[in-house]
Amino acid sequence: MDTVRPTTAEERDARTARNGGAPTLEFGRRVPYDSYVHASTLHTLQRTLSGDPGEMSFLMVSQIMELYFGLLRHELEQAREHVRNDEVWPALAPLRRAALHLEGLNAAWQTLRWMTPADFNTFRDLLGEGSGFQSAMYRQVEFLLGLRTKSLMRPFKGTTAYGELEVALHRASLWDEVIALLARRGHDLTPGLLERDVADEHEADQSVARAWVRVYRDTGPENHLRLLGEALTEVADRFGDWRYLHLKAVQRTMGAKSGTGGSNGLAFLQRSMSRPVFPELWTSRTEM
Annotated binding-site residue numbers: 124, 246, 260
Spatial distance between the Cα atoms of 204 and 152, rounded to a whole number of angstroms: 21
Q: How far is CA 18 from the centre of its chain?
A: 44
Annotated binding site for substrate: 124, 260
Give CA–CA dist 10/15, Å, rounded. Answer: 9
Closest of 118, 107, 104, 126 to residue 59, by C-alpha = 126
Cα–Cα distance, 66 to 219 (Å, whole number): 38
CB 50 within 8 A of CB 123: yes
3-class SS at 211? Answer: helix
Using only C-alpha atoms, the chain has a radius of gyration, in whole angstroms, of 23
Residue positions forming the annotated binding site for heme: 246
